[in-house]
């Protein structure tokens, strides 16, 4: 079974920037990423900018992102 990678908040933000998300705002150590689809739909993710994210946090971000990005495209960025 593939293992979840250890990622920092900055690495996770960089991953989502590749999928068309943009930094919408930042408050403290959390950054809000947002992208708009051609039909006007708004998609938002919030990422903590911590040096090392807990595996549970990474897993939760991955699950939330699956609402917007197909698993086969997202999985190589989060799993070994």
Calpha distance 5→79 (Å, rounded) = 5
Q: How do residues 9-60 score in pLDDT, each as one tens digit?
A: 999 999 999 999 999 999 999 999 999 999 999 999 999 999 999 999 999 9
Calpha distance 49→46 (Å, rounded) = 10
58 inside domain: yes
Calpha distance 60→45 (Å, rounded) = 11
Which pLDDT value is given to residue 2? 84
Q: In this structure, what CATH number is given to the domain that contains residue 62? A: 3.30.920
The count of structural domains within the chain is 1
Distance of alpha carbon 61 from the chain centroid: 6
């Amino acid at each position: 079974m593939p293992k979840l990678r250890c990622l920092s908040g900055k690495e996770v933000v960089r991953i989502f920037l590749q999928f068309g998300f943009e930094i919408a705002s930042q408050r403290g150590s959390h950054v809000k990423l947002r992208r708009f689809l051609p039909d006007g739909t708004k998609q938002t993710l919030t990422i903590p900018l911590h040096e090392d994210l807990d595996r549970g946090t990474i897993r939760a971000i991955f699950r939330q992102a699956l609402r917007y990005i197909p698993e086969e495209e997202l999985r190589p960025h989060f799993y070994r």
